[in-house]
Amino acid sequence: MPKILVTGSNGQLGSEIKELTNNDRNNLYFFTDRDSLDITDQKTIKSFIATNRIDTIINCAAYTAVDKAEEDEANANAINHLAVKYLAEIAKEKNIKLIHISTDYVFDGTNYRPYVESDPTNPKSVYGATKLAGEKAMQEANPANSIIIRTSWVYSSFGNNFVKTMLRLGKERDALGVIFDQVGTPTYAKDLAQTILDIVPQITNEKVEIYHYSNEGVLSWYDFAKEIMYMSKLECHIKPIETKEYPTPAKRPYYSLLNKAKIKKEFGITIPYWKDSVNACLKALGEKR
């Protein structure tokens, strides 16, 4: 029976994987968080993997506080870079399959067409830089049967995210300004979780491969907020604002659209349209009206 370690299991993606595998009797899962397994401690990871005879790692753990990372680079680097390095080195040594989740923030957001996996990276934030460092460390270790999946604008019925924030503010306020000049595609964590579970048995590659995943379609944060209010029947007027009107410590990419052709072709998956996924998430939250 395959033994699968899922790190960051209390986050959005980890929680979705946990829920989807609740009745899975074909695999044995080990769900860990920072309290039960410190992935920034190489000896601790090695011991856990050896003791439990892990043969697959799905690394959902990440330092995702984008703005906080600007002043907390050491911790962001420990989780987003060094922990990935340790996991990759152990995966190489023990011949363990590794699936690592990365981000659109490795790009600078100046593209004019959807980013493909081979496009030059140029992160503009500490978060993006540490995530890219993690990618490079994994590629340098180069464990076989291992992949990196970059994703964007993740939301879920679990954790804190844009959808939940809009629902809360939509009930509290009559009007709300939301950025319209940052463009990309949201990712429903449940869709990504299902894709990961579907492709894990299919992964067979000699060197680390990178894939892009988000839902289908293109929109701005303004469009996203409008649709959440519409589907939830909340009477909150959404006003478009420019990024410069909402300054943040960390720079966000203006353009985060990811080309998903590679993952769809190589693994034969179908990716849901973003509106359908928002609808599914709102139903899960009991907010569909």
Contact 47, 24 (CB under 8 A): no
The token pair that represents 1 in the structure block: 């029976």
Q: Please say whether the dihedral angle defined by the alpha carbons of residues 20, 12, 123 and 260, taken in this order, is positive or negative.
A: positive
Q: Which of 141, 182, 139, 148 lies closest to 162, judged by CA? A: 182
Catalytic residue check, 86: no
| Selected catalytic residue, list 115, 127, 211, 213 | 127
Helix intervals (H) in 142-235: 162-172, 189-199, 221-232
Q: What is the full DSSP assignment across 92-111?
A: HHHT-EEEEEEEGGGS-S--
Which residue's structure tokens are 């680390």?
A: 208
CB 206: neighbour CB atoms within 10 A? 8
Q: Long-range contact list for 125-129, CB < 8 A, 24+ apart? A: 125/66, 125/69, 125/70, 125/250, 125/251, 125/252, 126/69, 126/70, 126/73, 126/76, 126/250, 127/63, 127/64, 127/65, 127/66, 127/69, 127/76, 127/80, 127/103, 127/250, 128/103
User: What amino acid positions are annotated as catalytic residues?
Assistant: 127
